């Protein structure tokens, strides 16, 4: 696993379309804590599969041997604070720095919805005991690599929950305890990947892994391939 001290070091050293890598301290831990406070408030205030504050949604994903909560944040400007929006802006700028061909600026994407390539601000919340995401894979129609930030701390907020990335030669790269709060990782978008089951950390009953990501594709109609335990693709 390639690990870089900052984004500039990664930009000058790696091709994100074929190599998974990790950038340390991409956002500061205080910002992660503030984002978690906002998300916890939304989770407590709203029910599963409920729309809130414009076109933001809070979903339970429970299918194909996967279970986690998802925040689909289509109305960033309607949120109670700008902490999450500022993180997505950093991801947006990182995509561009790493070579993604995003045509319009961040504010245009926040304020407009259209059929072509656009931002999809998401949060995946994996609770301990049930949280996991089975093997799956995406087409490279709209993007070539995926960026993701960890808002939680391994061992403290959760145990297990490592992200596995199957690369072209069939070997598996694992984002493990080195993927700490505030770190960002990148992997080729077409690689099969999964999040292993989440176990209780030192935080006890509130244990969870929370990931912030922003796929770049139309908000509807994007296919995800799922591979079951027997290797059958659906």
Using one digit for the tens of pLDDT, what is the confidence trace for 138-173? 888 899 999 999 999 999 999 999 999 999 888 999
More confident residue, 146 or 227: 146
User: What pLDDT shows up at residue 223?
Assistant: 61
Residue 211: C-alpha distances to residues 16, 88, 114, 183, 208 (Å): 19, 12, 25, 10, 10
- Is the per-residue pLDDT at 181 higher than 60? yes
Give the model's confidence band at 195: pLDDT under 50 very low, under 70 low, under 90 confident, else very high: very high
Type and span of the H or E element at 134: strand 133-137
Read off the pLDDT of residues 66-107 as tens digits, 9 standing for 90 and up. 999 999 999 999 998 999 999 999 999 999 999 999 989 999
* Rounded average pLDDT over 176-186: 97
- Alpha-carbon gap, residue 75 to 110, rounded angstroms: 7
User: What pLDDT shows up at residue 227?
Assistant: 55
- Alpha-carbon gap, residue 120 to 133, rounded angstroms: 19
- Is the per-residue pLDDT at 7 higher than 90? yes
Give the model's confidence band at 114: pLDDT under 50 very low, under 70 low, under 90 confident, else very high: confident
* Rounded average pLDDT over 203-231: 79
- Is the per-residue pLDDT at 198 higher than 90? yes
Domain boundaries, the chain: 2-226
User: What pLDDT shows up at residue 113?
Assistant: 80
Domain 2-226 is in which class? mainly beta
- Alpha-carbon gap, residue 21 to 50, rounded angstroms: 35
Q: Parallel, antiparallel, or unpaired: how do β-strands 198-199 and 172-175 relate?
A: unpaired
- Alpha-carbon gap, residue 113 to 110, rounded angstroms: 8
- Is the per-residue pLDDT at 180 higher than 70? yes
Sign, Cα dihedral of 215, 125, 63, 57: negative
The percentage of residues in the chain with a pLDDT greater than 70, rounded to a whole number, is 94
Read off the pLDDT of residues 51-64 as tens digits, 9 standing for 90 and up. 999 999 999 999 88
Angle at 159 between CA 154 and CA 161, to 5 degrees: 90
User: What pLDDT shows up at residue 232?
Assistant: 53
Contact 152, 36 (CB under 8 A): yes
Residue 138: C-alpha distances to residues 52, 158, 196, 215, 226 (Å): 28, 27, 18, 10, 9
């Amino acid at each position: 696993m390639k690990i870089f001290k900052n984004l500039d070091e990664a930009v000058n050293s790696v091709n994100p379309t074929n190599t998974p890598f990790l950038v340390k301290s991409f956002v500061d831990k205080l910002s992660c804590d503030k984002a978690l406070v906002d998300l916890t408030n939304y989770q407590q205030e709203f029910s599963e599969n409920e729309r809130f504050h414009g076109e933001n949604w809070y979903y339970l994903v429970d299918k194909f041997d996967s279970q986690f909560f998802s925040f689909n944040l289509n109305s960033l400007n309607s949120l109670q604070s700008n902490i999450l929006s500022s993180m997505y802006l950093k991801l947006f700028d990182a995509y561009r720095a790493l070579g993604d061909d995003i045509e319009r600026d961040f504010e245009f994407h926040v304020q407009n919805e259209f059929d072509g390539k656009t931002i999809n601000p998401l949060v995946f919340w994996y609770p301990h005991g049930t949280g996991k995401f089975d093997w799956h894979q995406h087409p490279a129609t709209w993007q070539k690599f995926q960026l993701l930030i960890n808002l939680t701390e391994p061992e403290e907020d959760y145990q297990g929950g490592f992200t596995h990335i199957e690369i072209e030669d069939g070997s598996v790269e694992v984002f493990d305890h080195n993927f700490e709060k505030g770190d960002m990782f990148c992997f080729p978008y077409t690689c099969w990947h999964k999040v292993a089951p989440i176990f209780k950390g030192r935080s006890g009953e509130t244990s969870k892994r929370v990931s912030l990501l922003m796929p770049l594709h139309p908000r509807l109609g994007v296919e995800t391939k799922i591979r079951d335990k027997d290797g059958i693709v659906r």
